[in-house]
Amino acid sequence: MAEAPPQAGVVAAAPMSADVPGSLPTVRLTGDMARAVRVVVDTDTGIDDAMALVWLATRPGVEIVAAGSTHGNCRADQAALNALRVLEACGRGSVPVAVGLPGPVAGDATFATHVHGGDGLGDAVLAPPLGRPTDEGAVDQLIRLGHEHPGELDLLALGPLTNLAAALAADPAALAGYRSITVMGGAGVERADGPDPTLGVGDPNTAHDPTATARVAEAAPLQMVGVDVTLAIRFGSADLDRIAAARTPVATLLWTAMQFYIRFHEPRFGPRTCCAHDVIAAAALTDPEMVQEWAAGTIAVVDGPGDERAVLRPDADGASHAVVRADGPAILRAFIDGVTRL
């Protein structure tokens, strides 16, 4: 099954697992899904974005072709510097990093400084990167790479979809050249009632630019990895101990930045814990066997203002998917193994 995109790994429709209410059309990915991945990352480089870049740098068979920055967790120009800094710590300082657009399609940019600190990496006063962003903007880079390598590259969007929407506005075929588009965002399968699957956190990547999400979802099939799933996958105290003890350059960087993130999570989820949102999206791309269950459908942006969310409306023939169930412990274990090795 090497080289197969996630959709090609769908071998059979399967009934919804017993722990998920409803009778939604779902698909289950099976078999050996290990494959080579050449990825272009779009990132509002906050703390979990940094973790996701580390994930990509440590997974076998993954090449980070380029990164583009976006606003969200911090300013887009800061996010580019953060991405460079993290990639350099991973020994990937040669990866080109382009600065993306500073704000959403409509309205003003707002930043999640209460989650990621003023600089996106926990205000930890990290050393600046050695390199600098490329002269090409992230939107132009996105368009160019899609056309230069048709069918070869996977796009992983870890922040608001502003750059993707701008690429589509400039070139309606901008995203068609990508083999797949995985998005960290959304609130999973739409439900008419029941408890809020985001536990009040909402869907920040969509809320930061709901117009962009709607435009991208209309134009391209997306593999959506939502807050409803990622919020439940959290490091525990023993996990954090392993990262703290690793002492590799990248572990030291992460552990320093993670202190702010842990302090944000503790009042909500208990002592010594935090989420790894963007890592789960990266894992869905690189290691689909760790994300066993998806629902098929179409994506819509609902609610608002300020609490806009992307949801998947179930449709067995829909081209987009949302993760329903992921193997959180396996992903976190593989992440920490990578951090301690790098």
Q: How many residues bind Ca ion (CB under 5 A)?
A: 5
| Interaction between residue 226 and Ca ion (CB under 5 A) | no
| Interaction between residue 49 and Ca ion (CB under 5 A) | yes
Q: Which of 159, 188, 197, 338 forms a contact with Ca ion (CB under 5 A)?
A: 159
Q: How far is CA 87 from CA 100, 134, 178, 259, 340, in A?
A: 17, 14, 22, 20, 16
CB-wise, 29 or 86, nearer to Ca ion? 86
In whole angstroms, how close is the CB of 210 to Ca ion at the nearest point? 16
CB-wise, 159 or 186, nearer to Ca ion? 159
In whole angstroms, how close is the CB of 192 to Ca ion at the nearest point? 29
Piece in contact with Ca ion (CB under 5 A), picked from 33-41, 115-123, 170-178, 276-284: 276-284
CB-wise, 25 or 202, nearer to Ca ion? 202
* Structure tokens belonging to residue 234: 């959290």
Piece in contact with Ca ion (CB under 5 A), picked from 74-82, 159-167, 194-202, 249-257: 159-167
* Structure tokens belonging to residue 144: 């160019």
Residues 6+ apart with CB under 8 A from 86: 45, 50, 53, 54, 250, 253
Piece in contact with Ca ion (CB under 5 A), picked from 92-100, 195-203, 274-282, 313-321: 274-282
In whole angstroms, how close is the CB of 43 to Ca ion at the nearest point? 6
CB-wise, 9 or 46, nearer to Ca ion? 46
Piece in contact with Ca ion (CB under 5 A), picked from 225-233, 237-245, 270-278, 305-313: 270-278
Cα 25 to Cα 335: distance, rounded to the nearest angstrom: 30
If DSSP states are collapsed to H, E and C, what string results for 60-129?
CCEEEEEEEECCCCCCHHHHHHHHHHHHHHCCCCCCCEECCCCCCCCCCCCCCHHHHCCCCCCCCCCCCC
CB-wise, 37 or 158, nearer to Ca ion? 158
| Interaction between residue 158 and Ca ion (CB under 5 A) | yes
Q: Are 74 and 120 in contact (CB under 8 A)?
A: yes
CB-wise, 9 or 117, nearer to Ca ion? 117
Site string for Ca ion, 26-45 (x = CB under 5 A): ------------------x-
| Interaction between residue 122 and Ca ion (CB under 5 A) | no
Q: Going by DSSP bridges, is the β-strand pair 223-225/180-184 parallel, antiparallel, or unpaired?
A: parallel
Piece in contact with Ca ion (CB under 5 A), picked from 8-16, 25-33, 153-161, 329-337: 153-161
Cα 127 to Cα 166: distance, rounded to the nearest angstrom: 32
CB-wise, 225 or 290, nearer to Ca ion? 225
* Structure tokens belonging to residue 204: 């920040």
Amino acid, single-letter form, for residue 192: A
In whole angstroms, how close is the CB of 339 to Ca ion at the nearest point? 18
* Structure tokens belonging to residue 294: 């998806």
CB-wise, 65 or 279, nearer to Ca ion? 279
Query: In terms of Cα–Cα distance, which of 97, 101, 102, 100 is closest to 81?
Result: 97
In whole angstroms, how close is the CB of 2 to Ca ion at the nearest point? 29
Residues 6+ apart with CB under 8 A from 28: 10, 11, 12, 14, 292, 293, 294
Site residues for Ca ion per CB under 5 A: 44, 49, 158-159, 278
